[in-house]
């Protein structure tokens, strides 16, 4: 019978397809027999795939504001930029908040830093602390885009003279390996692209891995970093005679930026400014 024969021809093909698919019940029997747990392999694999997709596409697709979750194409929505990127009176040399519109703080008057000017978007507080923490430790290099845009806007608003080149403050090799990227370079390269100026990833190198600054008392931080940076011979030509912007995510005491700027100036840089996303506020009683 024709219909029955047709059904007879199609039925075996469906059966064959079912046999060739991996039956999860079979995995449930085979994997324990092999002494393996499916989750041990499948979960990290799925996490790696989803992280790769996030990193690759989040920077390209419109999505949610990183702070309020509202719809935006710019990482930070207009409302959050207006609310959290408010310019305040700061020392032109070290970007510490000043109680009045003075050109310089007393610390910088007493002991001027080697860099000429410092610009930041805001103090290291909400929401910048969370954004930077996620940028550094949360495998989210795509956050460099909105952070660099906010930094460029702050520099424009403060009338920062455009540098001839951006220099990333290098992370130690160990930390770069741990994080998978160098956050200062992610920022510097985007700032360079935005203003069509070169950005150098290796104009500075760390001479040694200094003791992490956070573990040291404030007074010892500069000594810990003396001579910590140098300009490699191959990079001297790209530094000599240039007005440079040294780029990092956060300026805390300024000791790291001082050491790095000193090395750039010693190699012949004409001027060094410091560009950071956030500035740690002065300890209570020092503002
Ligand atoms: Zn927002
Ligand atoms: Zn100052």
Task: Name the nearest CA neighbour of 83 among 67, 69, 96, 99.
Answer: 67
Cα(66) to ligand 1 centroid in Å equals 7
Tell me how crowded residue 15 is: count the other CB atoms within 10 A of its CB: 10
Under 8 Å between Cβ of 93 and 104 = yes
**pLDDT tens, residue by residue, 247-283:** 999 999 899 999 999 999 999 999 999 999 999 997 7
Q: How many residues does the chain have?
A: 287
Q: Which ligand is nearest to the CA of 64?
A: 1
Cα(240) to ligand 2 centroid in Å equals 26
* Dihedral sign for Cα atoms in the order 115, 117, 123, 124: negative
* pTM score, whole prediction: 0.76
Task: Name the nearest CA neighbour of 203 among 174, 175, 163.
Answer: 163
Under 8 Å between Cβ of 249 and 185 = no
% of the chain beyond a pLDDT of 90: 55
Q: Which helix (H) or strand (E) covers residue 25, if one does?
A: helix 24-33
Q: Which helix (H) or strand (E) covers residue 205, if one does?
A: strand 205-206
**pLDDT tens, residue by residue, 93-123:** 999 999 888 889 999 999 999 999 999 999 9
Cα(262) to ligand 2 centroid in Å equals 17
The DSSP letter of residue 160 is: P
The residue with greater pLDDT, 19 or 96, is 96
**pLDDT tens, residue by residue, 49-108:** 655 555 555 555 568 898 999 988 878 899 999 999 998 999 999 999 998 888 899 999
Cα(86) to ligand 2 centroid in Å equals 19
**pLDDT tens, residue by residue, 40-50:** 666 656 655 65
Cα(76) to ligand 1 centroid in Å equals 5
Is the pLDDT score of 25 beyond 70? no
């Amino acid at each position: 019978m024709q219909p029955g024969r047709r059904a007879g021809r199609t039925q075996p093909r469906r059966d064959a397809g079912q046999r060739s698919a991996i039956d999860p019940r079979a995995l449930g029997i085979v994997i324990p027999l092999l002494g393996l747990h499916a989750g041990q392999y499948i979960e990290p694999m799925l996490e790696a795939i989803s992280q790769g997709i996030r990193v690759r596409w989040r920077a390209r697709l419109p999505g949610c504001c990183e702070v309020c979750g509202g719809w935006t194409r710019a990482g930070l929505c207009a409302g959050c930029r207006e609310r959290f990127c408010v310019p305040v009176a700061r020392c032109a040399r070290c970007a510490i908040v000043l109680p009045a519109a003075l050109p310089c703080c007393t610390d910088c008057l007493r002991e001027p830093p080697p860099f000429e000017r410092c610009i930041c978007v805001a103090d290291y507080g909400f929401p910048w602390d969370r954004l930077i923490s996620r940028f550094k430790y949360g495998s989210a290099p795509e956050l460099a885009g909105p952070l660099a845009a906010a930094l460029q806007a702050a520099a424009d608003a403060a009338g920062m003279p455009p540098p001839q080149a951006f220099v990333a403050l290098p992370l130690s090799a160990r930390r770069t390996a741990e994080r998978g990227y160098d956050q200062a370079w992610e920022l510097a390269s985007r700032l360079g692209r935005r203003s069509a100026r070169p950005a150098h990833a290796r104009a500075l190198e760390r001479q040694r891995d200094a003791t992490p600054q956070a573990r040291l008392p404030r007074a010892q931080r500069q000594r810990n970093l003396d001579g910590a940076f140098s300009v490699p011979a191959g990079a001297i030509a790209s530094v000599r005679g240039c007005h440079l912007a040294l780029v990092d995510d956060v300026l805390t005491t300024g000791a790291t930026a001082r050491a790095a700027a000193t090395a750039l100036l010693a190699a012949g840089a004409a001027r060094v400014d410091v560009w950071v996303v956030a500035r740690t506020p002065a300890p209570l009683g020092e503002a």
